[in-house]
A and B are shown apart, each in its own frame.
Chain A
Amino acid sequence: MSGARMSALATLRGQIERIETAAVVHPHDRVALGHNQADSALKGGLARAAIHEVFCAGSQGTAATGFVMGLAGRVSAQRPLLWIRQDFSEIEAGALSMSGLAELGLDPRRVVMVRAADVESALRSSADALACDALGAVVLELWGETRQFDLVASRKLTLAAQGSGVTGLMLRMAAQPLPSTAETRWMLRAAHSPPGSVWDAWGAPRFDAELLRNRHGPCGRWIMEWNCDECQFSEPSTYSQPLAATPADRQNSTFLRQRRAG
């Protein structure tokens, strides 16, 4: 391909990108998650004033809930969180427990729960909520495939989020990813606790998070751990095999890679 053609393509791509993102997502509107690789893939962290989708299989609902809760805790920064859920998802996956939320290091006082009967009223309420700039984040929890949450609905939510600066998090349990206007799209699975850890240290929330789509960067798949004390994600901790002392001549980065592999 000739250089001129390449540059024309690049210009076009740039134009499309500018139209799409309406110049709202600024670099300073990103919140670092605490997990270095994920943060670098996301160009510094999770974008505020955008829609992020988290998908999971039906049995992995709680892992995805934990991940979304972590994201919401990172982006909402002491502001209220509106959690909108469908009645059916509570029957299938259990109710969000405020004691469990407090155990994750998050503040149950800031959570307002909307118990929508069906998808239409849930979508309508979330569009309303995303337009309210007093909120830190809005979580919409839906169970199963829904016809109503199509490209138009997703576009509507994105525009509302861009207008107000509120972050929208879609928790889609037992659903397949479909085209949407989301900034990022994740697929969540629960990850094992590290093998051989000391008897009472297991049980910290660990996620096998796969970034399926990222509008402004590469995708990837990482094991992310939620640190309940510091309220941020981190690289998986390794209590596992005791390591030999690092040779003095070795680079620090190699050491890091080894540790991650273990």
Chain B
Amino acid sequence: MGRGAREESASKQKDEPCIVVIKDNNALVIHALDEAAERLGLYIGQPLANARAMCPDLKVFDADVVADAKTLSDIADWCDRFTPLVALDPPHGLFLDITGCAHLFGGEAALLQTLVRALGRQGFAVSAAIAGTSVCARTLTRQAAGSIVADGGEAAAIRRFPVSALGAGEAITTGLRRAGLKTIGDVASRSPSEITARFGARFSTLLAHALGQGDAPISPRKPLPDYIVEKRFAEPIATDTMIAMTLSRLADTLIASMEKQGKGARRLEAAFFRTDGVVRAIMVEAGRPVTQSKVIDRLFRERLDALADPLDPGFGFDMVRLSASRTEIVVQEQRDLDAHVHDNDELSALIDRIAARIGGKRVVVHLPEDTHIPECAVMAASAQHRLAAAMQAEWPARTESEPPLRPLRLFDKPEPIKVPFAAVPDGPPHQFTWRRALHAVVRVEGPERIAMEWWRQDGKQLTRDYFRIEDAEGLRFWIFRDGLYEGEVFDGDGEAASPGWYVHGLFA
């Protein structure tokens, strides 16, 4: 059984009427209004010109839909303190699934009161209600904010409300009113087949949910973490030492509860709830399941140290939550006799620490790819995820007693070089200019022709002729001509143009 709570927010109240307008079909219409404006008889959807005619001294603001959505999402972050299952109901509603959470806050009534008061203090006008289904709770907020409806009492609770409270859309509401069905009770008294035939299946489902017959699941913003531990403070904490101490205590608790089920954490999230409603979440990942609290502690210490915008306690945090969002079963193995396994553990712990500090994408291992195009032959993958695969990878064997055929350093993008002329049309150059320096070619080996993969690209890539080259200073280059001579490269008039030359890599 799900208990849904809902709250609505609007801008802070003022004495003079304020409205927010948005452009709709080339006309400015009211998007939102405050209580003072509502008392004057203005309504949402009314054109601004009409509203001005009724009340000349209106305060008018432009709507900012993106900022509204951001605010709603911030409020949802803040609501995470009550339950991990928070869903957005745009444009200005939130669903909280408080099943099994209410007793932590002293019961449903106390929870509702805490939530409404805290949001009210932050300057939001809130109407909230608790009911067995989310649709019923939403209906209640529109007509009877603050009510708590017990299971089975849904139909009786909303019977007297007008049909507009269902929020079914303008067309259906008008249609119902024209059919003489003024209240939800009127609609419920008709047989469902009649309602479905006239207003569609979607509306009859909505009605059934509102009446407590069946429930639609809400879609939470974040996946439910496997394990959550949290600590609340009567006095907000602000110092680094307190934060570190809290985190390590939470880590102990988290590890203890995971240990009972033989689990280890792969991804951990620490959320810091500030007293003024701002929530900051920090995530760390581990290459293999973490089963020790001191490892968690250290990963978070590294991460917090390296934050580009450090944790700002403001007036202090009143709650810290540590959750394991991805866990894995840990296989207990005896490893003291096998030093190699132990080494790998230490290596992945080191990789985790460095990744926590500088980011997981910056620590990589390399995997061979089955292609002969030089820049694609190696794939860099995150070391945290692919370390074991990289250690087992099969690399193409080198030819014995040959000098290296592939350069040690490869440029991401081949760098263009200036070649004055080539003695043989499709031969190597005698000299070339790279990075403003002239290199005289002493030794050449090649060409090694590499054709592009016609089955992948759409024929735009050109065949390359690679040459190994040593210059007068002893530097060894890997250069190529992009395109066959007089075969692939054409200028604007369709005439054969001379292909470009590039440095792709450097040999040791």
Binds A, one of B11-19, B223-231, B278-286, B399-407: B399-407
**Cβ-neighbour of B505 out of A100, A115, A117 (below 8 A):** A100
B431 CB, nearest partner CB in chain A, Å: 16
In the bound complex, how far is the Cα of B448 from the Cα of A200, in angstroms? Answer: 13
Chain B 433-469 residues near chain A, CB threshold 8 A: 437, 442-443, 445, 468
Question: Given the complex, which residues of B lie within 8 Å of A105, measured CB to CB?
Answer: 398
**Cβ-neighbour of B408 out of A65, A125, A133 (below 8 A):** A65
Is there an interface contact between B366 and A202, defined as CB atoms closer than 8 Å? no
Chain B 333-372 residues near chain A, CB threshold 8 A: 342-347, 349-351, 353-354, 357-358, 362-366, 368
Question: Interface 1/0s, chain A 165-204, versus B by CB < 8 A?
Answer: 0000000000000000000000001111100000111111
Chain B 407-447 residues near chain A, CB threshold 8 A: 407-412, 437, 442-443, 445
Chain A 119-133 residues near chain B, CB threshold 8 A: 121, 124-125, 128-129, 132-133
Is there an interface contact between A191 and B474, defined as CB atoms closer than 8 Å? yes
In the bound complex, how far is the Cα of B476 from the Cα of A62, in angstroms? Answer: 9
Question: Given the complex, which residues of A lie within 8 Å of B393, measured CB to CB?
Answer: 108-109
In the bound complex, how far is the Cα of B349 from the Cα of A191, in angstroms? Answer: 41
Assess A205 versus B507: contact at CB under 8 Å? Given A103-B406, A109-B393, A121-B306: yes
Is there an interface contact between B405 and A103, defined as CB atoms closer than 8 Å? yes
Nearest to A78 among chain B residues (CB) is B340
Question: Given the complex, which residues of A lie within 8 Å of B368, measured CB to CB?
Answer: 98, 108
Is there an interface contact between B365 and A228, defined as CB atoms closer than 8 Å? no
A104 CB, nearest partner CB in chain B, Å: 6
B122 CB, nearest partner CB in chain A, Å: 37
In the bound complex, how far is the Cα of B437 from the Cα of A59, in angstroms? Answer: 10
Which 4 A/B pairs are nearest by Cβ-Cβ distance? A66-B508, A203-B403, A94-B409, A103-B404
Is the CB of B383 closer than 8 A to any CB of chain A?
Answer: yes
In the bound complex, how far is the Cα of B470 from the Cα of A225, in angstroms? Answer: 16
Is the CB of B506 closer than 8 A to any CB of chain A?
Answer: yes
Question: Given the complex, which residues of B lie within 8 Å of A60, measured CB to CB?
Answer: 475
Question: Given the complex, which residues of B lie within 8 Å of A98, measured CB to CB?
Answer: 366, 368, 378, 395
Is the CB of B396 closer than 8 A to any CB of chain A?
Answer: yes
In the bound complex, how far is the Cα of B375 from the Cα of A94, in angstroms? Answer: 12
**Cβ-neighbour of B346 out of A59, A61, A112, A132 (below 8 A):** A132
Is the CB of B493 closer than 8 A to any CB of chain A?
Answer: no
**In the complex, given contacts A95-B411, A203-B403, A203-B443, what are 4 additional A-B residue pairs having Cβ atoms less than 8 angstroms apart?**
A100-B410, A100-B508, A132-B349, A193-B474
Is the CB of B391 closer than 8 A to any CB of chain A?
Answer: yes
Nearest to B410 among chain A residues (CB) is A97
Question: Given the complex, which residues of B lie within 8 Å of A94, measured CB to CB?
Answer: 407, 409-412, 505-506
Is there an interface contact between B445 and A200, defined as CB atoms closer than 8 Å? yes
**Cβ-neighbour of A192 out of B350, B358, B474 (below 8 A):** B474
In the bound complex, how far is the Cα of B406 from the Cα of A117, in angstroms? Answer: 27
In the bound complex, how far is the Cα of B468 from the Cα of A200, in angstroms? Answer: 11
Is there an interface contact between B408 and A134, defined as CB atoms closer than 8 Å? no
In the bound complex, how far is the Cα of B178 from the Cα of A140, in angstroms? Answer: 79
Is the CB of A229 closer than 8 A to any CB of chain B?
Answer: yes
Is the CB of A99 closer than 8 A to any CB of chain B?
Answer: yes
In the bound complex, how far is the Cα of B250 from the Cα of A150, in angstroms? Answer: 39
Question: Given the complex, which residues of A lie within 8 Å of B306, measured CB to CB?
Answer: 121
Q: How many residues of B contact A (CB 8 A)?
A: 60
Is the CB of A90 closer than 8 A to any CB of chain B?
Answer: yes
B384 CB, nearest partner CB in chain A, Å: 11
Chain B 120-172 residues near chain A, CB threshold 8 A: none
Is there an interface contact between B474 and A190, defined as CB atoms closer than 8 Å? yes
Is the CB of B69 closer than 8 A to any CB of chain A?
Answer: no
Is there an interface contact between A62 and B506, defined as CB atoms closer than 8 Å? yes
**Cβ-neighbour of A103 out of B378, B380, B398, B475 (below 8 A):** B398
Nearest to B415 among chain A residues (CB) is A94
Assess A96 versus B409: contact at CB under 8 Å? Given A132-B350, A190-B474: yes
In the bound complex, how far is the Cα of B363 from the Cα of A116, in angstroms? Answer: 9
Which secondary structure dominates where chain B touches chain A?
mixed
**Cβ-neighbour of A112 out of B365, B476, B507 (below 8 A):** B365
Question: Given the complex, which residues of B lie within 8 Å of A208, measured CB to CB?
Answer: 474
B168 CB, nearest partner CB in chain A, Å: 53
Is there an interface contact between B380 and A113, defined as CB atoms closer than 8 Å? yes
Is the CB of A63 closer than 8 A to any CB of chain B?
Answer: yes
In the bound complex, how far is the Cα of B303 from the Cα of A38, in angstroms? Answer: 44
Chain A 4-47 residues near chain B, CB threshold 8 A: none
B83 CB, nearest partner CB in chain A, Å: 38
Is there an interface contact between A109 and B507, defined as CB atoms closer than 8 Å? no
Question: Given the complex, which residues of B lie within 8 Å of A59, measured CB to CB?
Answer: 437, 473, 475
In the bound complex, how far is the Cα of B435 from the Cα of A89, in angstroms? Answer: 16
Is there an interface contact between A228 and B357, defined as CB atoms closer than 8 Å? no
Question: Given the complex, which residues of B lie within 8 Å of A116, measured CB to CB?
Answer: 358, 362
Question: Interface 1/0s, chain B 375-386, versus A by CB < 8 A?
Answer: 001101001000
Is there an interface contact between A229 and B400, defined as CB atoms closer than 8 Å? yes
Is the CB of B32 closer than 8 A to any CB of chain A?
Answer: no
A142 CB, nearest partner CB in chain B, Å: 15
Is there an interface contact between A62 and B437, defined as CB atoms closer than 8 Å? no
**Cβ-neighbour of B351 out of A109, A112, A193, A207 (below 8 A):** A112
Assess A134 versus B400: contact at CB under 8 Å? Given A65-B409, A203-B507: no
Is the CB of A226 closer than 8 A to any CB of chain B?
Answer: yes
Is the CB of A260 closer than 8 A to any CB of chain B?
Answer: no
A97 CB, nearest partner CB in chain B, Å: 4
Is the CB of A111 closer than 8 A to any CB of chain B?
Answer: yes
Is the CB of B244 closer than 8 A to any CB of chain A?
Answer: no
Question: Given the complex, which residues of B lie within 8 Å of A103, measured CB to CB?
Answer: 398, 404-406, 408
**Cβ-neighbour of B366 out of A66, A111, A135 (below 8 A):** A111
